[in-house]
Amino acid sequence: MQLQDILFSQGFGTRRVSAGLVQQGWVSVMDASGQARPVLDSTERFEPQGLSFEVQGVPWQYAEKAYLMLHKPAGTECSQKPSAWPSIYTLLPAPLRQRPSKSAVQGVQAIGRLDQDTTGLLLLSDDGQFIHRMSSPKKHVPKVYEVSTKHPLDPDQVSRLLAGVVLEDDPKPVRAAAAELVAEHHLRLTLLEGKYHQVKRMLAAVGNRVEALHRSQIGALRLPADLAPGQWRWLSESDLSALKAA
């Protein structure tokens, strides 16, 4: 595969822009010993799988499809065109936002959305099948939320959430897959679907109010303790296995 095509596939710009990066000496490819070798011929061919390279000194590993996790901070929107708050996509490097796609939208896409004031684990990818598997209500991928409430929680409220509550403008009862009373104002809630403002509306239906909301887990994948708000990382093979097992 030509180097300019590899750069294009990773989101470094059009083929013309990618060729220009190479011709200006801004691209180096790692050899078998791990040393960076400058490449000036944009048509030089490489095996993309496992290829490591640098663009303007920034290291990059070839990935046919991108699978990421992001620790979403408060005060951000899961939208390419945010209305009032900064977009989560500004937390990602430009190549991930510019990866070519067959759809109308370029780059990785958030799998589901979290409200602007909700924090925690968010997945992103440019793999349509993976996005569908993780977001489709029919797949029943469990998502775990840590809920801080305004009023003290009691066992009756927990029981009602497990039995099912009726939300405004939605006649079908919605129930939690699991609910654990961690502390007087702390509920751990597991859901298998993702309706609009679902956690907040469910708590309101049992006479309480959400003060803070944090997603700590998707499937068997937990938000790593060392991933700070605003930080992202590639999903490992074990991370992907944990998600697919869900």
Which of the residues are catalytic? Answer: 115
Distance (Å, whole) CA 146 – CA 214:
5
CB 176 within 8 A of CB 189: yes
Assigned token pair, 23:
């011709």
Distance (Å, whole) CA 33 – CA 228:
33
Which of helix, strand or coil describes residue 63?
coil
Among the listed residues 79, 95, 133, the one whose alpha carbon sits nearest the alpha carbon of residue 244: 133
Give strand pairing partners of 71. 121
Determine which helix (DSSP H) or strand (DSSP E) holds 173, and give its type and residue range.
strand 170-174
